[in-house]
Amino acid sequence: MLNRKQLALTALRFLCYFGIMENKFNNTETESTPAVAVESKQQTLFHWIAINGASCALAGYPLPVPTVKPTPELLIGFPTHDEAVQAQRFLLTAPVECLSPKLAEWRLRALLPESDITIVMPAHPERPTTGATHWFVGGKAI
């Protein structure tokens, strides 16, 4: 039987597969690239949550699009630390039936042209582990 995180991610993959959610979330690049360019060389920083299986890791401070090990199934970047903490708390404590609608809401919010969040679905997620989540930007460990 699927746990609630696996169920939610399965539902999101279903939506992407059938074209309800488009390729914006199927980012195959795992290198550090800006979510949104601001002026010439600045990058927008987000407070990232990495979701992999039943685990949900929060980056310690804002980053451009990171590389994460193990590679998660989903990365969600929020504009503020408080919003990311609230999202992580929700993902870890909400009833199963509430996860899919909330994840779908974040996905739809990320589609808006002036969206303040971003979502990345790495092409080759790794199996969840019991160890620490490691964050990298530009090939350097954070």
Q: What is the value of pTM for the model shown?
A: 0.69
Q: What's residue 3's pLDDT? A: 57
Tell me how far CA of residue 60 lies from CA of 30, 107, 115, in angstroms: 19, 23, 22
Q: Using alpha carbons only, what angle is made at residue 87 by residues 62 and 94, rounded to the nearest 5 degrees?
A: 160
Residues of the chain with pLDDT under 50: 2, 14-41
Domain boundaries, the chain: 4-141
Q: Tell me the pLDDT tens digit for each residue of 125-141.
A: 998 888 888 888 888 88
